Chains A and B, each alone.
Chain A
Amino acid sequence: MSNEPVDVLIIGAGASGAAVAWSLADTRMRILCLEQGDWVNSANYPSAGPGYETRQDFAIRPNDRQLDVDYPIDDGESPVKVVNFNGVGGGTILYMAHFPRFHPSDFRTRTLDGVGEDWPIDYATLEPYFAENDRMMGVAGLAGDPGCPPKEIQLPPVPLGKLGERIAGGFNELGWHWWPSESAIATEPYNGRDRCLNLGPCSSGCAQGAKASTDITYWPYAIRAGVELRTRCRVREITVDKKGMATGVIYYDENGIEHEQKAAVVIVACNGVGTPRLLLNSVSTAFPDGIANGSGLVGKNLMLHAMAVVQGQFDARIDGFMGPIGCALWSKEFYETDPLRKFKRGYTMEVVRGSGPSGTALNGMMMGVLPWGSEHHAAFDQLFDKAGSICAVGEDLAEEHNTVTLDPEVVDSNGIPAVKISYTLGENSQKMIEHAGERAKEVFNAAGAIATSPTISSGVSSGHSMGTARMGTDPTRSVVNEWGRSHEVKNLFVVDSSVFVTSAGVNPTSTLQAVSLYIADSMKKRLATLFD
């Protein structure tokens, strides 16, 4: 393995790392990406083999997977649990590919609603990058949604299925908005990817390759354009010189051997948990509290989204286990701030399809509704393929006490300090969750559900980690500037959702990829003066 100096070193080959690598490739600079995980072979995805619902090697929580490429995350005290995937493609390997964009108002929450802070950029700035990213990922949907700004859509929408149609009927009954979800799923062959086969469990990887994970979207193009991607390389720290400029990184290879890699520019794309971890682990005389942490905000303002999940039970089979689990329809009825509500900002309601047989039975046992004995089968048939959920993804306001910090005791397989999540749901989020849960129940009732669950907001999982190295123009209130460059270290950039100033009421990947393309473009436009 050659550790010759490179022009650009990207850390992390996930959603944002892939996008930035692809965009910078046309500069013809020498670009290297270091990724702690492996390439994933789609033939190994659970949905291609037996026991597909319960395999732990593709579990969404790293603490359940416990692979050596994972790092421990102590989220024991957080009501929202952190999920991720560490490998080429990052979280997009397991994501559900629900692909909404942030709304224009999400970038101006302080001005509009007196909460959070305004971003230093806006929707209009990102619009061309959203469009470019959509073309690279391939987005299925339907143009004309009155709840969102207009956009070009590449592919026909994911079919709603019986479950989606029933719930859509509920929204119609109430006179509330709904629309087929924008989904990063090839509903027809797209850019070498085959069409979706409605396998169901997108959240353990897509064996068909229809889901837009970046290992099969951006990376093949970036590599063809000359980017080098080195896997099983875990970065321990970013190194600096006496002038406080980044000089490269120290990383461990697959065999635990330590390497030094020099680079003229370092780009961090390790996600809202991995990025602050790396910055905080990069301690030097110049940066005793972690690199780029002059504001003291690295790891603070963590936003994981306020989630409210309600399950509805129907009296007939609804094909709930078929089709992309997280992509059917969304509702923006309660997205924007309404002064009549007890909270600011809002949420998107997203329909989640039902579980397969194992998931249904395990849940039924846990809830005490699946008995032993001769009644087992009848009880199972009452549950199986008759349930779906509405998950409200609500805007979580940035609060400094919600943090990612280094764990003083726990280390990963290379001895690098792991992370601890300290996170509570603020009052605004709690009121929003309460509101969303009640509205979801109303939808299910209007859709003819025979029962609904209580609102679940604790113990839910989130792969949406934002805000821990936020962008801004004021170096005392932000970690990076308005185009992703560290205020203090002029050749260090952050491109993932750590830079988000607000969390919006939608899933983040479309927006974080647009942000990373925008940062890459900003760098390209300033190549001659990049470090000024």
Chain B
Amino acid sequence: MSDILASDSTYTEDERALLTRLCDLMIPAGEGRPSAADPELFNDILSRLSTHEALLKPALAILATLALEKLAASEQVTLINQHREAYATFFQVFESQVIQAYYANSAVLTSLGVNAPSPYPGGYDVEETDWSLLDPVRGREPFYRILGSGE
């Protein structure tokens, strides 16, 4: 989770609403996993995005003119995809921060069978290896170069 508080962000109400929409479009709820716009997740995302405001706000202003809310979800995604190249930096930063928040979220990790919030201290049981797998190699003569005298 980011150390910066979402409340520190200066995104306007409208910008927050658009960011929420974009989060939900990027990763909607499904397969037992929450939407990236889920309030807890969104708060984390917003706080991460607050360090990139100067970079993101101009692109947000242009994306706001697309009036995404008037379209069906699949059409919104199509429209976003059409704008990805033109606003490559915006999408790189936005996607990277959404992913970092989403795939560090305890509910998401747990649904993936990954220890939450971190591998330690629980660790994982990796099943013991059946070393008979090595039998074909065990029969081989040493083949590293054994040096003669003077070599």
Q: A46 — which chain B residues lie within 8 A by C-beta? A: 118
Q: A360 — which chain B residues lie within 8 A by C-beta? A: 103
- The reply on B146 being an interface residue by CB < 8 A is yes
- The reply on A464 being an interface residue by CB < 8 A is no
Q: B118 — which chain A residues lie within 8 A by C-beta? A: 46-50, 52, 207
Q: Establish whether residues A147 and B28, one from each chain, have CB atoms under 8 Å apart when the complex forms.
A: no
- The reply on B141 being an interface residue by CB < 8 A is yes
Q: Establish whether residues B100 and A51, one from each chain, have CB atoms under 8 Å apart when the complex forms.
A: yes
Q: Give Cα distance in the complex from A149 to B147, angstroms.
A: 11
Q: B96 — which chain A residues lie within 8 A by C-beta? A: 362, 365
- The reply on B74 being an interface residue by CB < 8 A is yes
Which of the listed residues B117, B125, B126 has the most CB atoms from chain A within 10 Å of its own CB?
Answer: B126
Which of A220-228, A372-380, A421-429 lines the interface with chain B? A372-380
- The reply on A358 being an interface residue by CB < 8 A is yes
Q: A207 — which chain B residues lie within 8 A by C-beta? A: 118-121
- The reply on A454 being an interface residue by CB < 8 A is no
Find B129's partner among A51, A164, A332, A336 (CB 8 Å cutoff).
A164
Q: A112-B151, A357-B114, A381-B31 are in contact. Are A146 and B119 (CB under 8 A)?
A: no
Find B127's partner among A49, A108, A159, A200 (CB 8 Å cutoff).
A159
- The reply on B68 being an interface residue by CB < 8 A is no
Q: B151 — which chain A residues lie within 8 A by C-beta? A: 108, 111-112
Find A159's partner among B117, B119, B126, B147 (CB 8 Å cutoff).
B126
Produce 1/0 per residue, A135-167, CB < 8 A to B: 000000010101111000000010111101100
- The reply on B107 being an interface residue by CB < 8 A is no
Q: A384 — which chain B residues lie within 8 A by C-beta? A: 112
Q: Which of B30-60 contact A (CB under 8 A)?
A: 30-31, 33
Produce 1/0 per residue, B107-151, CB < 8 A to A: 011001110011111111111110101101110111111110001
Produce 1/0 per residue, A286-323, CB < 8 A to B: 00000000000000000000000000000000010111
State the Cβ distance, B124 to closest chain A Cβ, in Å: 4
Q: A66 — which chain B residues lie within 8 A by C-beta? A: none
Q: Give Cα distance in the complex from A175 to B106, angstroms.
A: 44
Q: Which of A360-393 contact B (CB under 8 A)?
A: 360-362, 365, 371-374, 376-378, 381, 384-385
Q: A493 — which chain B residues lie within 8 A by C-beta? A: none
Q: A146-B143, A172-B136, A376-B26 are in contact. Are A159 and B128 (CB under 8 A)?
A: yes
Q: Give Cα distance in the complex from A170 to B122, angstroms.
A: 32
Q: A199-B123, A208-B120, A372-B26 are in contact. Are A332 and B104 (CB under 8 A)?
A: no
- The reply on B63 being an interface residue by CB < 8 A is no
State the Cβ distance, A477 to closest chain B Cβ, in Å: 20
Q: Give Cα distance in the complex from A430 to B9, angstroms.
A: 49
Q: A168-B133, A169-B133 are in contact. Are A377 and B33 (CB under 8 A)?
A: yes
Interface size class of B (residues with CB under 8 A): 35 or more
Q: Give Cα distance in the complex from A177 to B141, angstroms.
A: 11
- The reply on A54 being an interface residue by CB < 8 A is yes
Produce 1/0 per residue, A49-71, CB < 8 A to B: 11111100000000000000000
- The reply on B81 being an interface residue by CB < 8 A is yes
Q: Establish whether residues A103 and B145, one from each chain, have CB atoms under 8 Å apart when the complex forms.
A: yes
- The reply on A105 being an interface residue by CB < 8 A is yes
Q: Which of A19-50 contact B (CB under 8 A)?
A: 45-50
Which of the listed residues A112, A159, A360, A376 has the most CB atoms from chain B within 10 Å of its own CB?
Answer: A376
Q: Establish whether residues A197 and B123, one from each chain, have CB atoms under 8 Å apart when the complex forms.
A: yes
- The reply on A104 being an interface residue by CB < 8 A is yes
Q: A104-B146, A159-B128, A376-B30 are in contact. Are A47 and B119 (CB under 8 A)?
A: yes
Give the interface of A toward B (CB within 8 A).
45-54, 103-105, 108, 111-112, 122-123, 142, 144, 146-149, 157, 159-162, 164-165, 168-169, 171-172, 175, 177-180, 197-201, 207-208, 319, 321-323, 332, 335-336, 356-358, 360-362, 365, 371-374, 376-378, 381, 384-385
- Of the A-B pairs whose beta carbons lie under 8 Å apart in the complex, a sample of 8, sorted by A's number, is A50-B1, A103-B144, A177-B140, A177-B143, A180-B134, A197-B119, A207-B119, A319-B126
With A323-B126, A356-B103 already in contact, 14 other A-B pairs whose C-beta atoms are closer than 8 Å: A52-B104, A54-B100, A147-B142, A159-B129, A197-B119, A200-B119, A201-B119, A207-B120, A207-B121, A357-B112, A362-B96, A373-B26, A377-B31, A381-B31
